[in-house]
Structure 1
Amino acid sequence: MKKYYNPKNSQWETILERPTQKVEDIEKLVLQIFNEVSDRGDEAVKKYSQLFDGNGSGELRVNKQELDAAKSQVSEELKSAIDLAMQNIRKFHTAQKTERVSVETVAGVRCWQEKRPIQKIGLYIPGGTAPLFSTILMLAVPAQVAGCKEVVLCTPPGKDGSVNPVILYTTHLCGIEKIYKVGGIQAVAAMTFGTESIEKVYKIFGPGNQYVTVAKQLATKFNVAIDMPAGPSELLVVADESADAAFVASDLLSQAEHGSDSQVVLVSLSKQVLEEVEVEIAKQIEDLPRKDIAKAAIEHSRFIFMESEEKALDLINEYAPEHFIICTANSQFFVEGIHNAGSVFIGNYTPESAGDYASGTNHTLPTNGYAKQYSGVNHDSFTKAITFQEISSEGIQRIGQAVELMAEAEGLQAHKNAVTLRLNKLKTPGNEK
């Protein structure tokens, strides 16, 4: 890990750089796969599944027998935990629903807005070294709440062609029937263009590695929307003397074990706490089954001492962390001052892993500094806001002249005429109303 003490603002960009490849380093491969999937459909998908996942044979779609078998392979204790998480996620996202917004801007001009679900969505669920069945809950449950009609789910298979049973169980629990054993760039391509087996969707959700992230970004060039750029995981903790060093270390490691390209940052207001956390990491990391992955992530972690809360907050807003944990006596200062973060966790007893699984908030969040522009996945991510307006004869007379003048000033005569014709008709005897 690298340590910095009161770094100057001019150093921040270098210090806070993410350990990710640039888009142009990956884009060529992504476009190659996109072109092949667009031209050759399932054949190309299977080719790249064989190349990247070690299995490209057999049917792409998960069948009923596989789903039935998965149910018996998941313990009752885990089923109960999944059910608890599902209930909390549904409660939180249901609370986000809004009613129709309606206003009469002037007499006779009524405008309103209504939310409509996106009809066809695709979910990407990482498998690989960590089968993220919890991400199914984070995406499928809000989709259900929003009322999305068609849901397609892609997840990479193992080398034996099977999908982790907990992923299958959770998918089935969420009512998703179209489940495909496809991962990586080829999965995003399949949902972007559609193949013989996999339907084209309108919007793609879900985190993934750097290749999946770039694939999602390039999918937007082909009339497909995405939730956000969500790549390798990251966490920033701000701590002072009130923090429990063991807790802080455990949080940093919980994010580091996601992948070797994950990044964790500690911003400490105390040099002593910084040193104590370092000791705790060295102690705790040795007991982790995924310690090699965690160690690789810790290598490009950042430990930063800042002498004041104000400077620490400025640095944190500049970094715009995916996950932000506040372990300080004056937590409200950071709560009120944070503008750029995906999700915030407050206090010594609020671990980031609670949000990853069961508190109810969503764990699909913007990474790589995109928290400056993007929100994490929420209920509205699965909807569109459509505006409506209805204008009476009184209303068109109240705003008509303004529309005529503005249209004429822009040189759009037909726009003006559309109003003028109506106003002239209302001037005709008998048409005043």
Structure 2
Amino acid sequence: MPAAFSDPIWQKPKTAPAFKPELSSGGTLDAVIVGGGIMGLSTALHAARAGLSVQVLEAAAVGQGASGLNGGQVIPGLKYDPEWLIGHFGKQRGEALVDFAASTADAVFDLIRDEKLAVPFTRNGWIQAAHTETALKAAANRDRQWRTRGADVKLLDQTEIAALTGAKGYLGGWLDRRAGVIDPLSYTMELARVASAAGANIAEQRKVVKLSKEAGLWRVSTQGGAELRAKSVVLATNAYTDGLLPGLAQTIVPLHSFQIATAPLPAGLAASILPGGQAVSDSRRILVYYRESADGRLVLGGRGRMALPSSASDWAHLERALIRLYPALAGIAIEKRWFGRVAMTPDHLPHLHEPEKSLLAVVGCQGRGVGLMSALGKRMAGYLASGDTRQLPFPLSPIRPIPFHAFRQVGVAATIAWYRMLDAFER
């Protein structure tokens, strides 16, 4: 695929560390973490701080996957509201899960503050924009549930959302002031830097090809023949999961998230578009999400085609959405186009698995990966250090491959096309 068709706005900082393929030498490690994204690096940081010996193995380069390619929205909560979570998981676990979900944005911004990470960020909130009466009622219900728990949130009417977004077509929405935006690649690279400084060894270009257990220890084999031994293994590969753990890749449907970025907006336009610096996700079936970048561009993303892009036309649906929301941007150039891979689970919840003792896997970010995986990594490290399952906010569940998985992706592609058509009728 030509490089022009994957040209992200986020660029690796010049001061970013380079990680070589060298592995930890000798002895048995406490943990090997497969995957150098936000989940793997957060786990590594907190495990190393707890005194564990840790090796991170990244098949490509740190930040090259979804952790460095996403939209940089840091959103607390889950897809489901507190009352649903309590009803589904029971009062004790449900309440604990609500508390955890409420804390995930804090996990990111506290880390940036406490570790003095060189990460551009704005923490002025996230808006869930409603374009139908049904979506507005759902926003009111969500607002009620979080407000009763003391969250800094607000229901927006049509005038308020127009003033905050400058966009056309919304009836109202919901503002969650706990949220914000970051540069996701800078954050991922800084997370790697502090994890390394804490004692975690990070190796790039080290694809894991086999896991086996011998005398209670895991043998981790990498491409090229090198082997490590560890007491525990954490698979933090998410949408890039392959056949390393049988059945795991069949529990998720990988999707492509496409994004575009405009040229820096002229001052006159910039003043009326997201003047408060909030991030936005809308309520459409195939939603779009958008924000301003630190250098004054509008960055907008949404679901793309299931196949790899082959031309700039594969981003045309996002350009149409941009002009639908902001007609005044019709003459502004689109300077960046890129995509990343995300993982969808059938129930829209993250899944934690431990199919064998001390072999752990995490999949499913559901659009909240920056905060969710930052916070979950700390809990996972706590579990590695203590063995206490109470450290984990989600229950450990069996690996259940999706029936007819090969056909599920085709069905998702057809559903995306159908939903996009329905959305078009609701303009």
Greater share of helix residues, 1 or 2?
1
Which has the larger Rg? 1
On whether the aligned pair clears a TM of 0.5, the verdict is no
Q: TM-score range by the shorter chain?
A: under 0.3
Q: Which has the higher strand share?
A: 2
